[in-house]
Amino acid sequence: MPDPSPKQNHLLANLSAAELKRMRPHLEAVAMPLGHVIYESGRLLDHVFFPTTSIVSLLHVLENGSTTEIAVVGNDGLVGISLFMGGETTPSRAMVQSTGHAFRLPAKFLHAEFGRGGSMQHLLLRYTQALITQMAQTAVCNRHHSVDQQLCRWLLLSLDRLPTQDLVVTQELIASMLGVRREGVTAAAGKLQEAGVIEYRRGHIRVLNRTKLEKMSCECYSVVRKECDRLLPYKIAP
């Protein structure tokens, strides 16, 4: 595998040459293993992460330990928006959903660059608005749409942030992300496989027909996708 490059992350790739040059010595390439928790709820953040080939789930954790995904972050953005929004901590947990790599940047360098008011500040604020839209739409989807539709939305959002049509993920993990029973995910995945949309074997999903997958999803995916395309200067996959 080639060495990870900061320009694999769309936010970093769209910085000015001067901004990226200032940040480059402080960007550290890190492995992002499946299931690794980047930060826990309420913990003071000391780094932000710019995923390149990994995907991170932002999860809300209840008192009984159950979780529900509120957003996904991949090569389209960064993990740790509270650092430049002034909060320093967050009530969510950030966990690696798809293994890969990311670049880690210390908080003090992000603060310094954000304070300059250049393209970094502009990009981060617009990305934050797109992320808030994803969170809001996820809440609506979880309340009003079927597990089948939620699974389609989840698959599409994940695929947009990966270079392939393959996901390494278990049904248990998907159920945890969606906050539903595993049996519901099994039934929904079975319907998609019977329809020729996906090919599923234990721990691995390959999307065979993305067009049909989009048609079977609810409107929540298209709302999030359109807002990302409107706000950000780059186009995410496919």
Same-domain check for residues 38 and 106? yes
Task: Express each pLDDT in 5-37 by its tens digit.
Answer: 999 999 999 998 999 999 999 999 999 998 899
Same-domain check for residues 31 and 63? yes
Which residues have a Cβ under 8 Å from the Cβ of 170 and sit 6 or more positions away?
202, 203
Same-domain check for residues 220 and 174? yes
**pTM of the entire predicted model:** 0.91
Same-domain check for residues 220 and 179? yes
In-domain check, residue 158: yes
- 149: three-class secondary structure by DSSP: helix
In-domain check, residue 132: no
pLDDT of residue 117: 86
- Residue 235, Cβ density class (10 Å: 0-12 exposed, 13-18 middle, ≥19 buried): exposed
Same-domain check for residues 159 and 111? no
Same-domain check for residues 108 and 158? no
In-domain check, residue 122: no
- As a dihedral over the C-alpha atoms of residue 66, residue 68, residue 74, residue 78, rounded to 10 degrees, the angle is -80
In-domain check, residue 131: no
Q: Tell me if 98 sits within 8 A of 169, measured CB to CB.
A: yes
Same-domain check for residues 63 and 158? no
Write out the residue range of the structural domain in which residue 26 sits: 6-117
In-domain check, residue 192: yes
Q: Which of 117, 132, 155 is the last residue in one of the domains? A: 117
Task: Express each pLDDT in 193-223 by its tens digit.
Answer: 999 999 988 888 999 999 999 999 999 999 9
In-domain check, residue 160: yes
pLDDT of residue 163: 80
pLDDT of residue 119: 87
Task: Express each pLDDT in 133-142 by its tens digit.
Answer: 999 999 999 8
> Is residue 169 very low, low, confident or very high in pLDDT (cuts 50, 70, 90)?
confident
pLDDT of residue 105: 96
Q: Tell me if 101 sits within 8 A of 52, measured CB to CB.
A: yes
Same-domain check for residues 193 and 226? yes
> HSE on the CB side for 215, CA within 13 Å?
7
- Residue 107, Cβ density class (10 Å: 0-12 exposed, 13-18 middle, ≥19 buried): middle
Whichever domain contains 227, its CATH number is 1.10.10.10
Report the distance separating Cα 152 and Cα 44, nearest Å.
Answer: 34
Same-domain check for residues 112 and 145? no
Select the more confidently predicted residue: 49 or 180.
Answer: 49
Strands 204-207 and 166-167: antiparallel
Task: Express each pLDDT in 86-128 by its tens digit.
Answer: 777 777 899 999 999 999 999 999 999 998 988 899 999 999 9
In-domain check, residue 106: yes
Q: Which of 83, 117, 151 is the last residue in one of the domains? A: 117
Whichever domain contains 95, its CATH number is 2.60.120.10
DSSP state of 85: H
> Is residue 63 very low, low, confident or very high in pLDDT (cuts 50, 70, 90)?
confident
Residues facing residue 101 across a β-bridge: 31
In-domain check, residue 135: no
Domains of the chain: total: 2
- Of the chain, the percentage scoring pLDDT greater than 90 comes to 66
Same-domain check for residues 112 and 171? no
Same-domain check for residues 94 and 196? no
Same-domain check for residues 45 and 104? yes
